[in-house]
Amino acid sequence: MPLKKSKVVEQDGCLVKVVHLDRVRQARRAGLAPERLERMSGLYKALGDPTRLTMLLALKDGEMCVCDLAALTGTSDSAVSHGLRRLKDLALVKSRRDGQILYYSLDDHHVAQLLETAIDHLDH
């Protein structure tokens, strides 16, 4: 019985095991400290929630209160408050009080840039 020729199948991995130590060392030196890596991971987890992301995108255009954000997202005031607390803990949003109303806005221009970069990437 004749041998079948096998086709080379394109794979996501290498066909041979080779470690490029110079590149690995360079990546380790450029990497983040574990605490900063954990904080960055938390930031992306927060951005991974559609409701929180909707709130951030809305706040990009100006401040809003909890009631506004609840109406926008179709969720309860309590759920919005919980999401805002998480975003505030990550320094993504800040608040200011005007009488009995607490208004939220993006913490700084870096948050807006982060959102714009993501939108640009989607459109690319």
The pLDDT of residue 14 is 79
The pLDDT of residue 15 is 85
The pLDDT of residue 6 is 45
Q: What is the pTM of this model?
A: 0.81
DSSP 93: E
CATH T-level topology, domain 49-123 = Arc Repressor Mutant, subunit A (1.10.10)
The pLDDT of residue 13 is 78
CA distance linking residue 12 with residue 33, whole number of Å: 29
Helix (H) or strand (E) holding 55: helix 50-59
Name the residue ranges covered by the structural domains of the chain.
49-123
Averaged pLDDT in 10-residue chunks for the chain of 124 residues: 52 84 95 94 94 97 98 98 97 97 97 96 94
CA distance linking residue 122 with residue 57, whole number of Å: 14
